[in-house]
Amino acid sequence: MSIDYFSVGRVVEYLPAMLRKLPVTLAVAFSSTALGLVLATLIAAALLFRVPALYQVIKVFISFSRAIPINIQLFVYYYGLPALLAPYLLPLGLNPSRANPIYFVVATYAISSSAFMAVMLSASISGVDPGQSEAALSIGMTGGQMFRRVIGPQAFQIALPEMGNVIVTNLKNTSLAFTVGVIDMVGATRAIATRTHHALEGYVGNALVYFVICLLLEKAFGLLERRYRLRKG
Amino acid sequence: MITLSNIHKSFGRNHVLKGIDLTIRDGEAFVIIGASGSGKTTLLRAINFLERADQGEISIGGVSVSAKRATKKQVLDIRRRTAMVFQNYNLFRNRTAIRNVAEGLVIVQKVGEKEALERAAELMAQVGLSDKLDAYPSQLSGGQQQRVAIARALALRPEVILFDEPTSALDPELVGEVLGVMREVARMGITMILVTHEMSFARDIASQIVFIDDGVIVEQGAPIEIFRDAKEERTRQFLRRIMPEFTYHI
Ligand SMILES: Nc1ncnc2c1ncn2[C@@H]1O[C@H](COP(=O)(O)OP(=O)(O)OP(=O)(O)O)[C@@H](O)[C@H]1O
Ligand SMILES: [Mg+2]
């Protein structure tokens, strides 16, 4: 009997079970990006307004997030956050050590990508030429109106390509979620591999799925960028 | 009427404005001239609080505020009584020409969308750009952008329009069209304060000219008094330097 390394049939066979867990993968990727964006907005505001002490703290935080490999960050938050939060949550009857690990994954990627996104947002905002802000103020706009009408939309346009990269990075990082016990697409694939002793087909299937999703995201962001570039003229 | 009294402004240790007093009557075309670095831009920007002066009073149309202590609300009030035309046009690059003009009406003055666009279209016609309503700034020449910027300022019906060297970033062949529009603005009786190096234009349209040097007003008067009979040697020196041909004409 020849050695049976790979069969296309098994790729197709395993795919449905993996795809059933795709929503978990996507949920982690998108919710961590969304939450990260909210955090990043707050951090960027602090950076732009040069809130004195915070500014230094954030800079240190950003260099940590950039330097430390994402799987190490994941473990640090996974083991660290419960210890940190237990004193506050236990009295409320919540035990953070028993929480679904998916929350820690989302928190990790959100926090980690927030640092990068914050730099990107504040750079995009500073990237809009200050003459336009002055023009907005000179016609009597408030700071808020200036941001909503003039600076925000143009900063968005500058930030858009990088935003696409962040989502793709977060999506790819979801493939590490299984290391803390999340059963996402990769988790499902590992289970199949253990059960059937065929690993390669599952991972090939995974590769295809990631590849297709990234292509779709690229396409979507390409369209968005075109749309907003066209509006600028 | 606009009055500035005892305006001082320093950047660090650089004392740029050293006690400026000015009165500008309604409908005047008030021209500020002076050498580079003398503080002309800083003075204009102090009027609408793009730069906050360290000392002095600013009063526009009966509202008087202390430069140093003006509240956010007072600053907004002053800004809503003024408009500014910048050297680099500073149009909103994410909006079409007509939207640039309508923006202040809709967002600041809360005029309805339809009425704002109608008024914006009229102003675009006034500055000769009826065919460019839907063009984005990047699709317009410098002269066209500056004319849109003037329309944007006019739209708000401010008590005064501040012009900071509106033609000095333009290619020479585009200067004329912008000066033409400004001449029209002056003829409409809209109060304007204009910083410019275009001396012959200043002589034509100015009701008053002040010469500023090193943060102080050296001399002020009607164009003929400044250009023909300047009393101060510093003024005469500046004029000789900036328009040497002028000395031959008299
Ligand atoms: N934001 C600023 N920070 C520091 N110094 C400034 C600032 N703005 C202006 N200055 C300084 O103030 C002085 C006056 O500058 P200002 O721009 O008012 O001159 P100006 O008369 O408009 O000159 P120009 O004819 O070249 O436009 C200069 O010495 C300039 O370097
Ligand atoms: Mg200047």
pLDDT in tens, A164-212: 999 999 999 999 999 999 999 999 999 999 999 988 999 999 999 999 9
Dihedral over alpha carbons B176, B177, B178, B182 (to 10 degrees): 90
Look at ligand 1, atom 7, and give the residue with the nearest C-alpha: B11
End-to-end CA distance of chain A: 66
Residue B187 Cα, gap to closest chain A Cα (Å):
22
Tally of CA atoms within 13 A in the half-sphere of B191 that contains its CB = 17
pLDDT for A95 equals 84
Q: How far is the CA of B37 from the centre of ligand 1 (A)?
A: 5
Question: Looking at the predicted structure, is the pLDDT value of residue B96 above 70?
Answer: yes
Sheet of B160-164: strand order equals B82-85, B160-164, B192-195, B29-34, B208-213, B216-221
Q: How far is the CA of B169 from the centre of ligand 1 (A)?
A: 17
pLDDT for B249 equals 46
Tell me: the pLDDT tens digits for B52-73? 999 999 999 989 999 999 999 9
Q: Are strands B29-34 and B208-213 parallel, antiparallel or unpaired?
A: parallel
**Domain locations in chain B as residue ranges:** 89-157
Closest CA to B141 of B92, B103, B175, B117: B175
Amino acid at A10: R
pLDDT band of residue B246 (cuts 50, 70, 90) is low
Residue A65 Cα, gap to closest chain B Cα (Å):
34
pLDDT for A96 equals 82
* Residues B192 and B30 sit within 8 Å (Cβ to Cβ): yes
- CA B140 → CA A131, B181, B183, distances in Å? 17, 16, 21
Ligand closest to B51 (CA) is 1
Look at ligand 1, atom 29, and give the residue with the nearest C-alpha: B37
Query: Which among A125, A139, A151, A229 is the top mutation candidate for probing chain B, defined by the most B β-carbons within 10 Å of its own β-carbon?
Result: A139
Q: How far is the CA of B50 from the centre of ligand 2 (A)?
A: 13
Helices H / strands E in chain A, number of each: 10, 0
Percent of chain A at pLDDT exceeding 90: 62
CA dist., res. B38 & res. B46, Å (int): 14
pLDDT for B250 equals 42
CA dist., res. A197 & res. A175, Å (int): 20
pLDDT for A83 equals 87
**Domain locations in chain A as residue ranges:** 8-232
- Predicted ipTM of the assembly: 0.93
Tokens representing residue B212 in the block: 């500023």
pLDDT for A4 equals 78
Segment (H or E) for B22: strand B14-24
* Cβ–Cβ below 8 Å for A139 and B136: no
Query: Which among B93, B138, B163 is the top mutation candidate for probing chain A, defined by the most A β-carbons within 10 Å of its own β-carbon?
Result: B93
**Kindly report the CA angle at B25 between B20 and B27, in degrees rounded to 5?**
130
Q: How far is the CA of A53 from the centre of ligand 2 (A)?
A: 36
CA dist., res. B228 & res. A114, Å (int): 65
Tally of CA atoms within 13 A in the half-sphere of B201 that contains its CB = 25
Average pLDDT score over residue span B241-249: 65
Query: What does pLDDT average to over chain A?
Result: 90
pLDDT band of residue B243 (cuts 50, 70, 90) is confident
Q: Select from 1.10.630.10, 3.20.20.140, 2.60.120.380, 1.10.3720.10 the CATH code of A8-232.
A: 1.10.3720.10
Q: Does residue A152 belong to the interface with chain B, where contact is any CB pair within 8 Å?
A: no
Residue B29 Cα, gap to closest chain A Cα (Å):
20
Ligand 1 pocket, mutate which of B9, B41, B211 (most atoms under 8 A from CB): B41
pLDDT for A54 equals 78
* Cβ–Cβ below 8 Å for A142 and B76: yes
Average pLDDT score over residue span B82-87: 97
* Cβ–Cβ below 8 Å for B79 and A138: yes
Ligand closest to B36 (CA) is 1
Buried b (16+ CB within 10 A) or exposed e, A44-77: bebbeeeeeebeeebeebbeebeeeebeebbeeb
Instruction: Write out residues in chain A with pLDDT < 50, as ranges.
Output: 233
Q: Contacts from A124-131 at CB under 8 Å and sequence distance 24+? A: A124/A155, A124/A156, A124/A158, A124/A159, A124/A162, A125/A44, A125/A48, A125/A151, A125/A155, A126/A48, A127/A155, A127/A158, A128/A154, A128/A155, A128/A158, A129/B90, A131/B86, A131/B88, A131/B90
Tell me: the pLDDT tens digits for B5-16? 999 999 999 999
Q: In chain A, which residue's Cα lies nearest the Cα of B138?
A: A233
CA dist., res. B150 & res. B39, Å (int): 23
* Cβ–Cβ below 8 Å for B94 and A141: no
CA dist., res. B221 & res. A100, Å (int): 80
Average pLDDT score over residue span B136-156: 96
Of B50, B86, B93, the CB nearest to A232: B93
Query: What does pLDDT average to over chain B?
Result: 94
pLDDT for A230 equals 57
pLDDT for A231 equals 57
pLDDT for A55 equals 78
CA dist., res. B52 & res. B39, Å (int): 14
pLDDT for A134 equals 97
Of B83, B88, B137, the CB nearest to A138: B83
